[in-house]
Structure 1
Amino acid sequence: MTVIDPRVPQSAFDRVVAGALPRSLFDDLALGLLLSLGVLILLTFPNYGIIWDEEVQRTYGLLLLDYYGSGLRDLSAFDYDNLYLYGGGFDMAAALLERVSPLGAYETRHLLGGMVGLLGMAGTWRLARLIGDERTGFFALLLLALSPAYYGHMFSNPKDIPFACGMIWCLHLSALILRELPRPRWGLVLGFGIVLGLTLGTRIGGVLAVFFLGAAVLGHLGRVAALRGGFAPAARQAAAIALRLLPALPVAWIVMILAWPWAHLDFLNPVRAFLKFSAFPWPNEVLYGGRWIPADDLPATYLPTMLGLQLPELLLAGLVAAAWFGFRALVRPPLVVDATRRLQVGLVALAAVFPVAYALVSHPVLYNGFRHFLFVLPPLAIVAALGFDRLWAAVADNRSRLRARLLALPFTAAVVAQVWTMAALHPYEYVYYNRLAGGIAGAEWRYELDYWGAALREAALALDEYVANERGGRIGTAERVRVFVCGHPTSAMYFLPPQFRLVGEPEQADFLVSWTQAGCNFTMFGQVVAEVRRFGVTLAVVKDLRE
């Protein structure tokens, strides 16, 4: 416990690093950060490009609305590509908003995605605050907000960020349920069922939320058996808990089929989707370690390697601290143990570690970094926050201001550096690599960067400006500029005026708009008239092909 001599004047900074300010300060900081992030989303969502997944996802959402609008007779949504394997909750919500939004279709989707990502951050804060304290909650929120992979995907990724948001709120409700075992409130059970249904209505992998809760309940039952001297009391509690939690499943099923009506056409369809995703085919190659490797032939270490290279150093440091203090707690257990909190921490740790460990063992088809595992970032941020919180407490208990500053100053410097890096990458935060990889300059030609083709928006705007300047500042309405896009055509053409026409062959084009994925920009010769660059790395180019 830190003792402060009231006769000695102290600055606010000294009181913060010594842990002497009221814990509610960290709640104020967290709420201020959430509000600031909300404002930032409102100001910057138009800056994000259209990724190559978005057009089909938007069409899927519109087709699902047609299904409901036709009285469940129009089944075209279930023949559209392979999208029927996914739930359409986000896509239907975006399609509904599109009908009333004054913004464009994709701008509406990006704003909605940003707000869903912010909701996931709020869930991370609440869960970290529940299993730790106010300081832990603030640290977790800050670490997740400073994770470029999470923040950069919020606006354009229509599957992985909504799924991550659903999973963290499932974990939060699970932690609340654990606190009230064996008879949690019906409101918690109902809430868990609703959120679980929405998560399953995004991706069938939401069954992991049931597994995580089930594992934590088993831990609770093991403690009951140990304390009461036998399995009979644990068995009676198990029956009571099962009866209490069972109503969550039909609630989840109803919500799921509303968001994913294909699941209702056949009772076994969700099982088919789960088995399909266990070995999902993707007949493309992935740039890894400087070599293009088939996605189904990547080494088992691909996922942990990409996490190690793309997570911010600050978050990695928090995970190291958490691992150290966790090891110490196993070797030298504390005298006073809050068993429920230990279960809650175990629940979050399991959610952070199990998916990665399972991928190491099962070796599924992986690609494009860890975008399909973005849902592990919120629990990882919470585990790292627990590590920093424990480190902070250890330093504050030492009564040494120097040691407290030795922690606070580099932590603050790391936060400022990470904010600057993300601002410099904007709006391509998701291409971030940490210093272990040498930044994105060190990752160039070794790992994938703008695999979504998001930079084509900025390249298209640069082309529009170039042609307008070439014509004295204005393009005539009768003029026609032929464009070939190496990448997803919509990612560029959506941002160009109607005078620009898409052509199917580069020989017919006046200009090339190209991403740099797989060296596509080198396949056609022409004068480079615009480039999209970050930290010296070219993400997209515009070439004049007329000569």
Structure 2
Amino acid sequence: MFMQRAYLKIVAVIAAIALLGFSTVGNYGASWDEGTEISIVKYNFEWIVKGREIPKDLKYYGVLFNFTAEVAYQAQQLFQQGLNYNPLQDQTLEEGDRGVAEAIYKRLKVKHSLTFLVSLIAYIAVAGIVGILAGWEFAWIAPPFLVLLPRFWGHSFFNPKDVPFAALFTLGTWLGAYLIDRYIQAKPKYIRLGKNALTNYSILYGILIGLVTGIRVGGFFLLFFLPLTHLIVGISKGKFLHYFLSCWKFYLLIGFAWAATTTLIHPASWSNPVQWFIATLQYLSSHAWPGKNTFAGQSLSATEIPWYYLPQWFHITTPVIFQVTLLLALILLTIKYKKLNTLQQACAILVLLQIFFLPIVAILKQSALYNGIRQFIFVLPGIAALCVIALIWIYQTLQKKGFKLFYIALIIVLLSPIAVDAIAVHPYEYVYFNRLAGGLKNTYGQYDHDYWGLSLREGMEWLNVNAQPNSTISIGGQPYLAQMYADSHFKFLDIEEDLRYGKKGKPDYYLSMHYLNLETVFPDCPIVHQVKRQGASLATIKKCS
């Protein structure tokens, strides 16, 4: 009965989060990379059917989530249009054709909802992590805390690779703890391959790692996190190396299941899976991103950034209460570790690996980094879980009811400004900066803000109402980000090919995102409107005629 109530609370909270998310998913614009992500499915299809090479470096990109979203879209169209529907009707569209924007927009209406749906896996997983470490009666608290990390919540609606990756990675952390506990608790005579639970769970976990890798190749690190955690927990519990080595067959089985799954969902790997995987790792470890970062008031390439780029970004974009409670959680875990049971120790270590391992590797390797913490969103669920655990452990030490009530009230007061700020910047929660950093307004020009270009939607919607019919419009940013929301009578001029950035003429209106100095083009044209949040401009509209 106790567990049923605990589970019902989790279900109720997840349902409330789902209701909030699905009611606002339509408010978000499109992001710069979404056209490319959608095209990945097309390129893989042509690779299989027509033998055409996958262009550029897209052969190294995960195709799983994009494929799933395309299947969902095609299923919706088939249901709406019936058997006369042609699933390949968009294949003839050429780059620059306005129909491309329409084709992307139709898919995004499905894909954004699916992105948020998949993100709910992370909310369930953090509840599971807190249930293991702090008790299932408190597990329902974890999902709302993850909601209160605006950078995670904001990305949950439009980011087709980092959010699904974060969700499945966190699921791998949670379920990995149970698998390690089963390995350690199993009697020696049951540590064998065959028709048994350990074999089945190992295969399923290998498939899960393969699915994570199918979104971003970094998912394969779970292959190493699991045995490393097993070894650490086994030694601390008096189960020495020989016991750990008795499970090597299961880890080999996990590896085979991962390799088979990863190969299956990456068509580019089918001709030579090993060579493809090695090439993918080499490409991602030395990826030369051509853009510029705005960091601490400087414009830096991805290879020029200082070592503290990631720590600084986490410091200014993570709410202060989360930073304080994360530090408390690390202290309390150190103190309590030996008193934790096997499952709890495994869970704690896996969460710590999820939060710290890859960011530290990126710093030590001086990897090319960009877009703030976007590539490392997967650490945020772990941070949310540890913060909740620290707060619960402190709560459990309080004896008097009055102290407990005051403690709860204090936490609510400290969390309230985060919700206020998130509402104020909606639907651009992904550009949230904490109050210690000065918020969005005081970090303007110092750090990258709307690098995805979501605000172009709101700018285009203003033009739909206020611009003269049949006006010419040029976009500072990815053109389809605005075109898909534009009224049909507008004519779009490419800022580079048609106008040469002003050398061959001017449009009637110029709509630009504030990124890569695009807003400075056509300096003589007056500004007639700005998309603003908290006093900071995210997109600018200039009238040039």
Q: Does 1:516 align with 2:514?
A: yes
Q: Does 1:116 align with 2:118?
A: yes
Equivalent residue in structure 2 for 1:271, among 272, 278, 281: 278
**Matches of 2:5 and 2:459 in 1, distance apart?**
44
Tell me what 1:453 maps to.
Answer: 453
Tell me what 1:56 maps to.
Answer: 36
For the 8 Å contact 1:441–1:537, the answer to whether it is kept is yes
Equivalent residue in structure 1 for 2:391, among 372, 388, 392: 388
Q: Does 1:493 align with 2:483?
A: yes
Tell me what 1:45 maps to.
Answer: 25
Tell me what 1:374 maps to.
Answer: 377
**Matches of 2:21 and 2:41 in 1, distance apart?**
23
Equivalent residue in structure 1 for 2:360, among 329, 344, 357: 357
For the 8 Å contact 2:223–2:255, the answer to whether it is kept is no
> What is the root-mean-square deviation in Å for CA atoms of aligned residues?
2.2
**Matches of 1:305 and 1:431 in 2, distance apart?**
15
How far the C-alpha of 1:297 sits from its partner, in A, is 1.0
CA displacement 1:328-350 (0-9 Å, x = unmatched): 447xx6xx542442232122112
How far the C-alpha of 1:113 sits from its partner, in A, is 0.8
How far the C-alpha of 1:302 sits from its partner, in A, is 0.6
Describe the shift of the 1:545–1:337 C-alpha distance in structure 2 as closer, same or farther (beyond 3 A).
closer
For the 8 Å contact 2:227–2:251, the answer to whether it is kept is no
Equivalent residue in structure 2 for 1:252, among 242, 251, 258: 258
For the 8 Å contact 1:60–1:80, the answer to whether it is kept is no
Tell me what 1:502 maps to.
Answer: 492
How far the C-alpha of 1:309 sits from its partner, in A, is 0.8
Equivalent residue in structure 1 for 2:209, among 196, 200, 222: 196
Describe the shift of the 1:303–1:310 C-alpha distance in structure 2 as closer, same or farther (beyond 3 A).
same
**Matches of 2:393 and 2:50 in 1, distance apart?**
56
Describe the shift of the 1:29–1:87 C-alpha distance in structure 2 as closer, same or farther (beyond 3 A).
same
Tell me what 1:89 maps to.
Answer: 64
Tell me what 1:14 maps to.
Answer: none
How far the C-alpha of 1:75 sits from its partner, in A, is 3.6
How far the C-alpha of 1:28 sits from its partner, in A, is 4.0
How far the C-alpha of 1:435 sits from its partner, in A, is 1.2
**Matches of 2:315 and 2:141 in 1, distance apart?**
20
Tell me what 1:106 maps to.
Answer: 108
Equivalent residue in structure 2 for 1:170, among 165, 169, 172: 172
Describe the shift of the 1:337–1:35 C-alpha distance in structure 2 as closer, same or farther (beyond 3 A).
closer
**Matches of 2:268 and 2:385 in 1, distance apart?**
35
Moved more, 201-210 or 320-329: 320-329
Moved more, 167-176 or 352-361: 352-361
SS of residue matched to 1:180: helix
Q: Does 1:533 align with 2:532?
A: yes
Q: Does 1:32 align with 2:32?
A: no
**Matches of 1:310 and 1:488 in 2, distance apart?**
26
Counterpart mapping for 1:33-432 below 5 A: 33-67=13-47, 72-76=48-52, 78-101=53-76, 104-182=106-184, 183=191, 185-223=198-236, 226=238, 234-235=241-242, 237-266=243-272, 267-329=274-336, 336-395=339-398, 398-399=399-400, 401-432=401-432
CA displacement 1:1-26 (0-9 Å, x = unmatched): xxxxxxxxxxxxxxxxxxxxx78766
Supply the AA of the counterpart residue of 1:113.
T
Identity of aligned residues (%): 23
For the 8 Å contact 1:484–1:502, the answer to whether it is kept is yes
For the 8 Å contact 2:286–2:368, the answer to whether it is kept is yes
How far the C-alpha of 1:451 sits from its partner, in A, is 0.7
Describe the shift of the 1:339–1:198 C-alpha distance in structure 2 as closer, same or farther (beyond 3 A).
closer
Tell me what 2:471 maps to.
Answer: 481
SS of residue matched to 2:158: coil
SS of residue matched to 1:91: helix
**Matches of 2:537 and 2:125 in 1, distance apart?**
36
**Matches of 1:247 and 1:432 in 2, distance apart?**
43
SS of residue matched to 2:44: helix
Tell me what 1:12 maps to.
Answer: none
For the 8 Å contact 2:206–2:255, the answer to whether it is kept is yes
Supply the AA of the counterpart residue of 1:86.
Y
Supply the AA of the counterpart residue of 2:69.
A
Tell me what 2:102 maps to.
Answer: none
What is the TM-score when the length of structure 2 is the normalising length?
A: 0.86
**Matches of 1:311 and 1:38 in 2, distance apart?**
23
For the 8 Å contact 1:352–1:379, the answer to whether it is kept is yes
How far the C-alpha of 1:452 sits from its partner, in A, is 0.6
CA displacement 1:150-177 (0-9 Å, x = unmatched): 1111121111111111211111221110
Tell me what 1:7 maps to.
Answer: none
How far the C-alpha of 1:190 sits from its partner, in A, is 2.4
How far the C-alpha of 1:238 sits from its partner, in A, is 3.0
**Matches of 1:101 and 1:37 in 2, distance apart?**
24
**Matches of 1:98 and 1:309 in 2, distance apart?**
37
